[in-house]
Structure 1
Amino acid sequence: MSGIRLGLVGVGKIARDQHFPSIEATDGIALAAAASRSASVDGIANFTSLTEMLSGTEIDAVGLCTPPQVRYALALEALKAGRHVLLEKPPGATLSEVEDLVEVAREKGVTLFATWHSRFAPAVEPAWDWLAKRSVRRAVITWKEDVRRWHPGQEWIWEPGGLGVFDPGINALSIATHILPTTFFLTGSTLSFPENRQAPIAAKLAFTDANGLDLTADFDWRQEGPQTWDIVVETEDGGSLELSEGGKKLTLDGKPVIDEPDAEYRGIYRHFVDLVGSGTSDVDIAPLRHVADAFMLGRRETVDAFHEEPI
């Protein structure tokens, strides 16, 4: 095995759907071990905990695919053991714990990478390049999907720290904070909580900046049928931009420019290999800060109970 020997903690849907094939397709890194209380991976060393994995096999880095509520303790253990750490999004349950991990990684001289997979969608960098030369007047984010399709049986997302609809919504915010050539901030939010849940199932957000930007976001987890992951931007200089399908497609002034297959997680692992090689970290907490602000300024409304099986 050559390159970075990676141990992955958490063998769930996202690990199997995205991480495993992306690691296999990326030069300079290989999956050497996995830790899970209830699952295993063929062909590699398997453990029931991170502690067992760190002491039971040789690995250089740890990837954490666990729910965010338990991620800090795991990341801290790996960093203190001198391992590089890759964090699934969101990087943690709070801003303060992520900032603490940054300091620990610096002290130990290892890489910490807080991933935002949507930033690696094929149309995101071209969108950033186009907007960098323009002034933005208005932007509308519409991010609506079916929670039953993407998170079947995952109760942690409904608990405090699980973020609810912000689990997908933070993907949109990770793109917006990257491509918009301005620093924006929240002015108000309305959060819709099912009467039987501790996290919102929908959210409406309003943002602005020092120049009066009009930015709104509409997140909803109740959309059946086709899913909607769109960002539309209007500029002062003339011209408009639309990112659709989560950043796979780019349309400029009504003309399709990019429509490419998803390769987000391959981009994550290529970047991780480069970070480790250069001895640097990449931890941007701006998307998580906007989510925290949404809870701080949120007007709470109670909506119908959510059940895993429709009634």
Structure 2
Amino acid sequence: MKVALVGIGKIARDQHVPAINGSKDWELAATVSRHGSVDGVEAFADLDTLLAERPDIEVVSLCLPPVPRFDYAVAALRAGRHVMLEKPPGATVAECHALEAMAREAGVSVYATWHSREAAQVNQARDWLKDKRLKSLKVTWKEDVRRWHPGQEWIWKAGGLGVFDPGINALSIVTEILPDAIRLTAASLEFPENRETPIAASLVFAHPHGADISAVFDWRQEGDQTWMIEAETDDGVLRLTEGGARLSINGETAAEQDADGNPLLGEYPRLYAKMAKLVRDGGIDMDLAPMTLVADAFLLGRRVTVEPFEE
């Protein structure tokens, strides 16, 4: 199938392009970007022109920041194209519901992707936890924003999510591996005085069976980067590290699925394989559980002003 990639930035170059080029399901047929392109691939400056001139392209994959993404998705859906959405799938929950309704009306597929759910050990963690009694779960997601998001000013603007841009990855894993739904009960969000989005957050959740669940996100981490989920159960302790790429249960390390040192290896190829299946089956996947928790954090969270952040 032919796919057009819209938004040629870091995530597109690092993850989407290699995943598409390495897939037997996909051909990267065109790109849309005002500033970027991919060697050997037809480039368009705007989506409307692509939709008009390339009716043979069935799928549009949107790698834009969340705020402008809705209008692009609407245009693609109205043109009868299947749409794949980078995380988070929109700037608001209402936007995402609207896109799903439009896709259903048009009879096309739309996919809200959560790449961290495709990390190598997430499925094994989910399977192990499904019949255990959970006592506690703690998320520690700490990284250096200067290292991972250099020069990305949009992420500090309203709608850019700030530290929840990586934090939502953790929540996508949590909502995938837990057999029971959780809800937010308290949050503290730290906003640099010169920024519109938070640089750190602490969250507390309610679990239907009383387990203690919390999360700490921080973008000021220097040195070792930490992406860890630790769950204590009646049958021992499960620990997911490196964003779900590594797993240990009661101190025993699970066999590595992707072992070349790249924590994201395999995630985007698996996303594109799922998108291919959705298109073939006429399916829709718009799970918004991670986004709902983030929205609730902004609704319920206590705002704390901290020192300015400078790149």
SS in 1 for 2:231: strand
8 Å contact from structure 1 (residues 64, 85) kept in 2: yes
SS in 1 for 2:89: coil
**Which residue pairs with 2:66 in the alignment?**
68
- Residue identity (%): 54
8 Å contact from structure 1 (residues 207, 213) kept in 2: no
**Which residue pairs with 2:148 in the alignment?**
150
Q: TM-score, normalised by structure 2?
A: 0.96
**Which residue pairs with 1:223 in the alignment?**
221
| Deviation for aligned residue 1:224 | 1.4
Q: What are structure 1's unaligned runs of at least 5 residues?
A: none
Q: Cα deviations across residues 72-97 of structure 1 (Å, max 9, x unaligned)?
A: 11101100100000000000000001
| Deviation for aligned residue 1:272 | 0.5
**Which residue pairs with 1:278 in the alignment?**
281
| Deviation for aligned residue 1:7 | 0.5
Distance 1:28 1:122 in 2: 21
Distance 2:135 2:141 in 1: 20
Distance 1:68 1:124 in 2: 25
**Which residue pairs with 1:173 in the alignment?**
171
| Deviation for aligned residue 1:239 | 1.1
Q: What are structure 2's unaligned runs of at least 5 residues?
A: 259-264
Alignment-mate amino acid for residue 23 of structure 1: I
Alignment-mate amino acid for residue 187 of structure 2: S
| Deviation for aligned residue 1:238 | 2.1
8 Å contact from structure 1 (residues 120, 264) kept in 2: yes
**Which residue pairs with 1:306 in the alignment?**
309
8 Å contact from structure 1 (residues 207, 216) kept in 2: yes
Q: 2:236 aligns with which of 236, 239, 243?
A: 239
8 Å contact from structure 1 (residues 248, 258) kept in 2: no
8 Å contact from structure 1 (residues 205, 217) kept in 2: yes
Q: How many residues align?
A: 304
Establish whether residue 264 from structure 1 lines up as the match of residue 261 from structure 2: no
Distance 2:27 2:200 in 1: 38
Distance 1:299 1:42 in 2: 47
| Deviation for aligned residue 1:154 | 0.5
**Which residue pairs with 1:97 in the alignment?**
95
Structure 1 stretch displaced more, 258-267 or 173-182: 258-267
Q: TM-score, normalised by structure 1?
A: 0.96
**Which residue pairs with 2:107 in the alignment?**
109
**Which residue pairs with 2:262 in the alignment?**
none
Q: 1:24 aligns with which of 21, 24, 29?
A: 21
Establish whether residue 37 from structure 1 lines up as the match of residue 34 from structure 2: yes
Q: 1:194 aligns with which of 189, 192, 195?
A: 192
| Deviation for aligned residue 1:240 | 1.1
| Deviation for aligned residue 1:207 | 0.4
**Which residue pairs with 1:48 in the alignment?**
45
Q: Cα deviations across residues 273-298 of structure 1 (Å, max 9, x unaligned)?
A: 11111110111000000000001111
| Deviation for aligned residue 1:56 | 2.1
Establish whether residue 297 from structure 1 lines up as the match of residue 300 from structure 2: yes
| Deviation for aligned residue 1:41 | 1.4
Distance 2:113 2:24 in 1: 18
Distance 2:10 2:50 in 1: 21
Establish whether residue 13 from structure 1 lines up as the match of residue 10 from structure 2: yes
Q: List structure 1 segments (4+ residues) > 2 angstroms apart after TM superposition.
A: 258-262
SS in 2 for 1:102: helix
